[in-house]
Structure 1
Amino acid sequence: MARAPLSESDLVVFGDAAAGHDGVLSDASGSVVVKPCTATEIAFYESAAMHPAFAAYMPTYMGTLKLSSSGTVDETATAAAAAAASQPAGSATASGTASALSPDDPGPLRGKKLETGLSIVLENIASPFKKPNILDVKLGAQLWDDSASLQKRERLDKVAAETTSKSLGFRMAGMKVWQGAGEQKDPLVDATGYRVYNKFYGRKFSADSVIEGFREFLFVPAAGIDDDLGRTMVNILLKQVEGIQKVLEAEEIRMYSASILFVYEGDGEALRRALEEEKSRTSGTAQPDEGDRGGDDDEGEGDVAKAYAVKLIDFAHATWTPGLGSDENALQGVRSTAKILGDLARM
């Protein structure tokens, strides 16, 4: 039976975004993301079932929603979306980690809202974490597709030329890092204990210095993530990026302005516990494959602590391109990210 149409009041501003466009919403539990999208992005998600290795690195697609002119939501989402929305999301809900910056601090600056009237419903990758640390790495030296206007091409080419997008094929598009439960003197730390880095943060780096941004993301002593634990996470995330690289090298695809989304548990104590639980689950068995989400619930097991998740996101300009070979534009950024993580692991 179809669920009754949702009122706009049932949706809240999504608080776990580190980058992207404005206008992203969530259900009150924080377990799903409702993101303005294009028909191209919906078609890409719906066709991904034919590419299971790639789909393993995508957020779970649950359907679509259309905001009506009366301010309600006409629901066309799948039953899975309804079921997910009714489940508790754990302690890291959208409202629980929403940025609460002072009025004179604009917080993360994102792109303008997409005025399509259509939204895609996806799992919230950050929902199961106690204190999710989030990094959005935008892929590609070329950030526009063939449908882009000349003005847009020139604007995005300028951004690429002035950032690591041109030299490395990626840039850090946004980041939020929990700074611990102690009293914060840093004015850039919000009321929830997060330091939020807007889209201009990653633009300051050169190819030689961008490793410092990854260091700031992965080593947070004040939150209990010391050198040993940070290095453990570097190696785990490196393995995930190498898995993405392997999949992209095997697929014939073009995706512009897509991102790798890194999420890991930002509370050091909770992170250690999650990693220990994962080690116990995999003891004596094969290690988690590429695409593993760092401790997803297995059917019948109940709640399982989660340590990390690495996903490809943002497919508004993505298409399958049979016969054209792999996407070297995106792969440049993936390989550069892997190299930097490898360099960081050896430091």
Structure 2
Amino acid sequence: EGAPIISLRNLAPFVPRFYGTLELGGITYMKLEDLSRQYKNPCIIDVKIGYQTWYPSATQSHIDKCKVKDLATTQSKLGFKICGMQVYDRPTDRLVRADKDWCKLLDCDSVVGPLQRFLNPPSSQDLSARDLCFGEGGLLGKLEDLEQYFERQRGHQFFSSSLLVVYEGGAVQTTDLNLQLKLIDFAHAITVTNARDENFLNGFKSFKSFLLDFVV
């Protein structure tokens, strides 16, 4: 097997499960796992990774469009941006959503608040960002596992892909969080020969470092 196939096999634990395709109205759709289905009150965040969101073979007009969007957000400065977010508000027993238009307004300073809000489970005074990140099955361990994959793999590069983090907002102890970290959105992933994905990896490391700065 070639490097791209091996790379994809090793990536499998980090992506939603694939359940085949579905034909509707002459259009073929992929059937993917619904990552939020198992949660009662899912806290979710979508974080686009990479300092560059356009792929090498893109048209100049697409590249120019991406550059404008990246410069207007934290993408080109921090190597990541929040695309969407949902948290559970225990006092009102409802899910609060931040849409992509609101997320576009976040800059390098204001992005800290939403990340801190997401990482602090609202349902128990006994749980904190440290529990969510460093506890058993926590976010840090999952980030390190995915980082190791990208340090090794040389068969693919991912442009404009995101990390999706999900956990149970109603958890009252660490074992109830059931935190998941998955890589999503592969429309602009490309196959390469013996080349590390520096753009994704650098953005990923920036995001991880950014989290640790205010959790530790």
Contact 2:165 2:180 in 1 (8 A): yes
Q: How many residues align?
A: 209
Distance 1:344 1:239, change over 3 A: farther
The aligned residue for residue 56 of structure 1 is 13
Alpha-carbon distance, 1:211 to partner: 2.3
Q: Which runs of 5+ in 1 are unaligned?
A: 1-46, 70-116, 185-192, 277-304
Deviation, structure 1 residue 164: 1.0
Structure 1 position 226, deviation (Å): 3.5
Match of 2:192 among 321, 333, 347: 321
Structure-1 separation of matches of 2:76 and 2:114: 17
**RMSD over equivalenced CA pairs, Å:** 2.1
Instruction: Report deviation, 1:234.
Output: 2.6
One-letter amino acid of the counterpart of residue 263, structure 1: V
Runs (4+) of structure 1 moved beyond 4 Å?
Answer: 47-50
SS of the residue corresponding to residue 200 of structure 1 reads helix
State whether residues 150 and 196 of structure 2, in contact with CA within 8 Å, keep that contact through their aligned partners in structure 1: yes
Point out the structure with max Rg over C-alpha. Answer: 1
The CA deviation string for residues 89-137 of structure 1, in whole angstroms up to 9 with x for no partner, is xxxxxxxxxxxxxxxxxxxxxxxxxxxx221111111111121111000
Aligned to 2:181: 310
Partner of residue 158 from structure 1, selected from 34, 48, 68: 68
**Partner Cα distance (2:5, 2:98) in 1:** 31
* Secondary structure of the structure 2 residue equivalent to 1:121: strand
Match of 1:338 in 2: 208
Cα distance in 2 between the residues matched to 1:206 and 1:227: 31
In structure 2, how many angstroms separate the alpha carbons of the residues matched to 1:199 and 1:138?
11
1:134 aligns to 2:36 (yes or no): no
Question: Aligned partners of 1:164 and 1:263: how far apart in 2?
Answer: 22
| Contact 2:120 2:127 (8 Å CA) reproduced | no
Q: TM-score, length-normalised on structure 1?
A: 0.56
Q: Which residue of 1 aligns with 2:148?
A: 246
Q: Please report the TM-score for the alignment, with normalisation by the length of structure 2.
A: 0.87
Task: Pick the aligned partner of 2:115 from 199, 205, 214.
Answer: 214
Which one is further off, 233-242 or 125-134? 233-242
The residue identity in structure 2 corresponding to 1:229 is S
Unmatched runs of 5 consecutive residues or more in structure 2: none
Structure that is richer in strand per residue: 2
Cα deviations by residue, 1:210-249 (Å, 9 ceiling, x for unpaired): 222211112253xx14474332113321221122111111
User: Residue 201 of structure 1 aligns to a residue in which SS?
Assistant: helix
Higher relative contact order (CA 8 A, sep 6+): 2
